[in-house]
Amino acid sequence: MSSFHFLLQFTIFLLLFHQKFSFPSKQTLLLPLRKTLGAHHRRPFPSSAVAVSANAATDKLAFHHNVTLTVSLSVGSPPQEVTMVLDTGSELSWLHCKKTPDLKSVFAPQLSKSYKPVPCVSPVCKTRTRDLPIPASCDPNNKLCHVAVSYADASSIEGNLAYENFVIGSATRPGFLFGCMDSGYSSNTDEDSKTTGLMGMNRGSLSFVSQMGFPKFSYCISGSDSSGVLLLGNARFSWLRELNYTPLIQRSDPLPYYDRVAYTVQLEGIKVGNKLLNLPKSVFLPDHTGAGQTMVDSGTQFTFLLGPVYTALRNEFLQQTKGVLRVYEDPNFVFQGAMDLCYRVTGSSHQSFSNLPRVSLMFRGAEMSVSGERLLYRVPEMSKGSNSVYCFTFGNSDLLGIEAFVIGHHHQQNVWMEFDLVKSRVGFAEISCDLARQKLGMGS
């Protein structure tokens, strides 16, 4: 959970589209929008690296984002409003269940008539938690099924597995399994105080999308004001160009550094401008431990590459931007602990961002291009007046201790992203997400 500190307003609608699956609502619902501030990176560590049904409606839910994607919904009987970080890189959905001075938003299970903790003796404690990075255990104090998650910045949270009613608009999903968390450590209590919990959206059996039975979901993040759209279910629009698809990689054998339920795709090469980096395809393949998979992760802001690939990209981008950008010469400054290519930018030179060479991520069967302002990120605490420090938005995952390539949501701005669980693929196409919101009747 590497904490990202910049203020970004993000409002997203959540839509549930009509399809052949059954879901207990057939109404069109619109809930109020909200804006919040806060930041998360939710990349769980694998257990070896730590010490410790779908819809039949057009429902709209509150969604907001601030470096993280967050959705508001109701949980329990009577319903309590909660705010959850949407994370395609996690499986277990969880809520803060113990009020502390640092937390502004918690779920109170004692006030809900439908809350039901899972006892240790229940088969669910073992069978449904098999894909979690940290195996479930038995809490000796209350004989309840104990779950825990640790993140890349050494943050962790733990509590008990439980059943509860989750309300999507006016539709209720009874018996939803989630973690009711009552203890843990965070490297940034300020950011955690702004959300009640986390909504896991990967391919594991406990994830939100799996428990709800959605065959696919899509989102589109604006690059201007960080508003956007999230859709759960099938969606086909005449104004949306044909998507390019890359298959999801499936592996059944357990490996210590491989996340089998992540949205794993195969990165095959990177271009800077028209120049293909001179790297063997083997550097993009996972090794015998599973280290080196490529994951699409909405819980991570930027994109992180393993050391040799990052170094090759950094050197080529540096070479192609000579004379266009002025390097920030401070060997001790590494943004976010993993991004060491930064530039000193004045107000006038900011206009040259449109002339920067685009970086193209080449996947099996598809290509994602990053250009213009998405290539550089302004560091607020390093900027004064017209003088600013901007850092390259690709980082070195080796420095974060993440044994993987991670495609963050910053590089998914103004890209329609579709996660197809039935056909096991990820599709994307460039589009103005502001235009998409207009087309969907969500305002300008």
Count the neighbouring beta carbons within 10 Å of the beta carbon of residue 422.
9
Place of tokens 């992540």: 262
CA-based radius of gyration for the chain = 21
Candidates 59, 87, 153, 434; catalytic one: 87
**Catalytic residue flag (residue 102):** no
Task: Give the neighbor-by-neighbor strand order of the sheet with 326-327.
Answer: 326-327, 342-345, 388-392, 376-378
Facing residues of 367 across strands?
362
Cis amide prior to 78 (ω within 30 degrees): yes
Options 139, 192, 297, 434, the catalytic residue? 297
Q: Cα(308)–Cα(288) distance, rounded to whole angstroms?
A: 18
DSSP state of 41: -
Residue 297 known to be catalytic: yes
- Numbers of helices and strands, H then E, in the chain: 6, 31
Distance CA(266)–CA(253), nearest Å, equals: 17
Asked whether 58 and 19 are in contact (CB, 8 A), the reply is no
Q: Please check whether residue 428 is in contact with residue 239, taking contact to mean a CB–CB distance below 8 angstroms.
A: no
- With beta carbons less than 8 A apart as the criterion, state whether 182 and 81 touch: no
Q: Mind telling me the catalytic residues?
A: 87, 297
